[in-house]
Each structure stands twice: as C-alpha cells, then as structure tokens.
Chain A
Amino acid sequence: MRLSGPAITALSAIAVFVVLLLYGPLAVAIFFSFFRLERNAVAWDSFSFDAYSTLFHNDAILDSLLTTLVVGLSAVALSLVFGTLIAFHYRNSRSRLRHVLQFVVFLPFLMPPIITGLSLLIFFRETNVQRSLLTVVIGHTVFVLAIVYQIVLTRLRALKPSLIDASLDLGASRWQTFRLVIMPNLTSAFVSAAILAFALSFDETLITLLVTGTKNTLPMWLWSSMRLGFKPDINALVTLILFFSTVLAFVAMRLFRPASRT
C-alpha cells in the first residue's frame, strides 16, 4: 500500500498520540516508583529505590506473587495437556461432534469474562466445591484453553502429512511417530502457547474475582489495595510487572514469527 507524503505525516501524528495514550499512564507509574511528589511538584532530588525495598519487605505482595505463579504454571500445564489433546482430536477425527467441541472450547474466550466466571461460580456452588486455589486454576485453564488449542492446531495443520507417512513407511510405530516426529515439530508451538497462556493467567482479573477463595493472586491484591489509595511500592510493583510482561511478550512474539511463516 502506498500513501502520499501528507497522509503519512497525518497518520504518524495520530500514531504518536496513540502511543502516548497507551504508554503515558504506565510511564507515569514507573516514574513515580523512583521519584516523589512534594507540594504538588516533582521532587527531582528524591530519586531512590526505597519503594522497591518496601515492596520486597511486604509479605502480602510476595505471597500473592507466589500464588499467581503457582496458578499460572498449573493453568499452563493443564491447558497444554488438554489443548493438545483436543487439537489432535480435531485434526484426526472425522466426527461431526468435533466442531461442537471446538465451539465449546472457544466459548470462554468469546463470552464476556463475567459470564465464564459466574457460570463456574454457580457450578462450584451447586456441586459443593469450596472456592480455593483449585477453582481459580480451573477458571484460568478454561479461559486460556482456546488460545493453546488454536496455536497447537495451527501448527498441526502446517505439519506435512508426507512427514508422517515417511515415518510410518520407515517402520516406525504410530507411537514412535508421535513421539519422534510429531512432538518435536510442535515444541515451538508449545512454548509460545505456554508463554501466552501464562501472560493471560498472570493478568486474569474478572474470572478470578468471582471464583477466588481466601488466597489472593496478584491482580486481586492490587485490586483490593488500590481502592485504599496509591503508594509508591505499588508503583514499584507495577514497574516490575511491566518489565517482566514486556520481556515475555517479546519472547513470545519472536517465537510467533517463524510459526506464522510455515
């Protein structure tokens, strides 16, 4: 697509504005994790890491961070197993039902999160399951399943059938073919699905709020402490999370690129 000079200038101006809108608020949070406001002006000489040391002495935050990691990793593991299983079924089965199955898997991703959260909440109550970390893990797994499924299925489809035929012709059993030919070809799909699923789980707020028990994940902790006001150590936490999620995002994107070419 070619654009004329003035058009590019105008569009670039809007793009810069949008970048400011998207990143400006975050930049302000990062800034105030290092500096303080004194009498309604930035105190430029107040640069310090105090907020960070306060943060690392806050057991509630560290505890919720640990909880978030445990939930995220469990949801990643579960969604990888089931997402792969369902992707294989969709690829290999001739049954009409597989379309229904695919639709069901996509539902939590299509519906507003409040619906997914509420239906799980009601489900757990009707089946007398206490809300706990387990229910949060189930909620997150259900939510990220569609992403994992889609990524694995896309890679499975890109796999050349001749590869599998060759393996079988060379005398490998179906199991050997699966283990030695198909699985290694899926590795990068697994890695990018895992990263994306983890990032989504790390951030999940709406479903978690509804199915959580007494233990807080990080977004839950943020949500409850933010209502009380702003403190520099929250800004420090925000900065650290942004740093790690950006790194994760870049790693995931790098992995995605070769995937989309095949």
Chain B
Amino acid sequence: MATAEATLARQDTGERVMRALLTALAYGAPLLFILVPLLLFVLQSFFYVENTDIVHRFTLANYVRFFSEATFIPIFFYTCLLSLGAALITVVLAYPVALLLASLSGRIKYALTLVFIVPLLMSYIIKIYAIRSILGGNGFLNRMLIGIGLIDQPITFLIFNLYAVMITLALILLPFTMLPIFITLDKIPRQLIDASYDLGATGWQTFRRVILPLSLSGTLVGASFTFVLGLGDFVTPQMVGGMNGLTFGRIIYSQFGFAFNWPFGAALSVILLIFVAFVLLLAGRVFMRGSATS
C-alpha cells in the first residue's frame, strides 16, 4: 500500500517536472526569439554610430534627425499615400468580387473562392518578376506594342516610378484585402437581407442600407492589411520603382546596407512600427464595433 502511494507520488512529481519543463519551453522560445530581439531593436534606436562602430550609449539624436532633416518626413508621407492608394485600389477591385462570391453557394462558391485565394500562396517575388517583365521598358507589353506598330519607342512611364510601385503592390496584396471582406459579407444573416426585401427595399437600397454598413468593418481590416504590408515593403519598390521609387521601407533597408547606420535605421523602423500599431489598433476598434452591432 505504502509503496503504491510512493509510486503514485513519484509519478506525480515526474509529471509536474515534465509539465514545468514544457511550460518553460512554451514561454522560453517566443521570449528569446521574438520579444528579446524586438526589445534589443527598440533599444538600438537610442544608440549611435561612430566610425562604423555602434556606440551603446543613450541618445535621442536618431529621432531628432528624423523630425529635423527635411528629407524623411516627406518620404514617410508619400509612402503612406502610396500604400493608401494601393489599399484603395484593392478595395475597389476586391469588394465586388467578394460580393459576388458571397452571393454564390455550393461547389461553385468554393471553387471560385479558391481561384481568388490561391494567389496568396503563390510566390511574392515571382509575381513582382512577372509584373516587371510585362511593364518594363524591355518588357512584354512594350515589345508587343512596338511589334504591332502602335508605338516606335518603348513606353517608359509604366515602370520605375511610384505609380508602378503602387500598382504592383495593389496586384500582389489584392487577395489579402479580399479575404476579410468576403468573410464579413458571407457572415451577414440571410434573414436580414430577406427582411429588407420584404419591407420593400430595392436591391440597391438593400445594398446601401444593409449590406454595405455590415461589411465596412471587414473592408477596413482588409484595407489596413494591404496598407501595413505596403508601408514596410522594400523589395517591390526596388524591383519596379527603380531610382524614382524611393520609399520609407527602402530608406530603412539602406541604413542596414551601404549607409551602415543601424541605430538610425532602427529608429526609422520604430517610427514605422508605432504608426502601424496605431493603424491596426484603430482598425481593430472599428472592427470590434462593427461585429458587436451585427
């Protein structure tokens, strides 16, 4: 009897030790590889560089430089505008498609939804490559147009400027915007729409007064996904923006490349991070309110 209890107790401690170990692992890994790097990164933004060495001493100089030098705020501002433009394009294109998908049912709905989601899992860099090979000066579109004799010289305004960056971002991020819109539209109860029709509303009135207000929250979430991802991107602007496609993401990236000013790059990223957090929180609040009323 006593030995059996002892075995049980031993098993108990064994299990407890095991559990403590697993809990430690569950916390330890994300702490070490997500939280600590993030803190070090914020800390870095308060250091400075002297003769290619990072001096680990506290300074606000990096932040002062962002606000005082004339170049950075305008770049930040038009990068915001650019991402906002990309987000708007995606909403204008994605909303009608999401509405169509939500109105379908059965196999065809599932199949068509897949058609619009699969690009999410397709290579990002390949999409940029493909778009660039069409729009580029030596690209498919130009060569075809010259081939049929519509133009003599390659059109150059299609690529290596900020519009090209905006359009490319919109094309790549479109599925990100569409998914949340589709989800909110799909969740609207049938009865609400039936009730609207029964009360004599036309299709347009039902859309304006019932469907649109109920789907605004998802639309906002989708648009903010695209906005945030566009804001921090540095590969797309470099690939299709060329010399004229300088964006905030590229400025940050260059601080870690040839400019070699990690603390300043970190400060610029912290500013980006704060702005992004603000946008996401705002979107989250609106979304919560939207789902609370529905």
Tell me the A residues contacting B by CB distance below 8 Å. 1-4, 7-8, 10-12, 14-15, 17-19, 21-26, 28-29, 32, 37, 39-41, 82, 85-86, 88-89, 93, 97, 101, 104-105, 107-108, 110-115, 118-123, 125-126, 138, 141-142, 145, 174, 196, 199, 202-203, 205-206, 209-210, 219, 222-223, 226-227, 229-230, 234, 238, 241-242, 245-246, 248-250, 252-253, 257
Contact = CB atoms under 8 A, between A and B. Distances in A.
Interface stretch (B63-71, B127-135, B155-163, B285-293): B127-135
A199 B121 CA distance: 7
B245 interface: no
A46 to B, nearest CB: 14
A87 to B, nearest CB: 9
Nearest to B144: A40
A118 B266 contact: yes
Closest 7 CB pairs of A and B: A112-B232, A123-B37, A25-B130, A119-B41, A40-B147, A119-B37, A11-B100
A40 B143 contact: yes
Contacts, number: 236
Contacts of A229: 138
A222 B129 contact: yes
Nearest to A82: B29
B51 interface: no
- The secondary structure that dominates the B interface is helix
Given A111-B276, A112-B276, A230 B93 contact: no
Contacts of A242: 122-123, 126
A112 B280 contact: no
Give the contact-size bracket for chain B: 35 or more
Contacts of A138: 33
Contacts of B102: 1
B4 interface: no
Contacts of B115: 19
B141 to A, nearest CB: 9
A107 B30 CA distance: 10
Contacts of B119: 22-23
